[in-house]
Amino acid sequence: MWICVALAAMAQEPAEAPPSVEVIDEGFANALTEATRAYLRGRHDEAIGLLSSLRVRLQHGEFVDPALAAETLIWLGEVLYKTGRSDEARAVFRELLERTPEWPINEYQHPSDVVAVYYDVARQVRASIAVRPSEAPPPPTPRAPWWVALPFGVPQALQKRPVAATTFAVLGVGFTATSIASSLHLAEVNVSNDGHPNGWTADEVPTRVNTERYAVQWPATALAYLTWAAGSLEARASARKTPVGLGAWGDPHGAGVVVAGQWGAPAR
Predicted pLDDT at 267: 42
Predicted pLDDT at 144: 77
Report the pLDDT value the prediction gives residue 171, as an integer from 0 to 100. 93
**Mean pLDDT, range 133-139, rounded to an integer:** 61
User: Are 247 and 142 spatial neighbours (Cβ–Cβ below 8 Å)?
Assistant: no
Cβ–Cβ contacts within 10 Å for residue 160, how many?
12
Q: What percent of the chain has pLDDT over 90?
A: 26
- pTM exceeds cut of 0.75: no
Residue 133: the pLDDT is 58
Q: What tens digit of pLDDT does each residue of 211-221 get?
A: 878 888 899 89
- Residues 40-56: what's their mean pLDDT? 91
Distance CA 249, CA 234 (A): 29
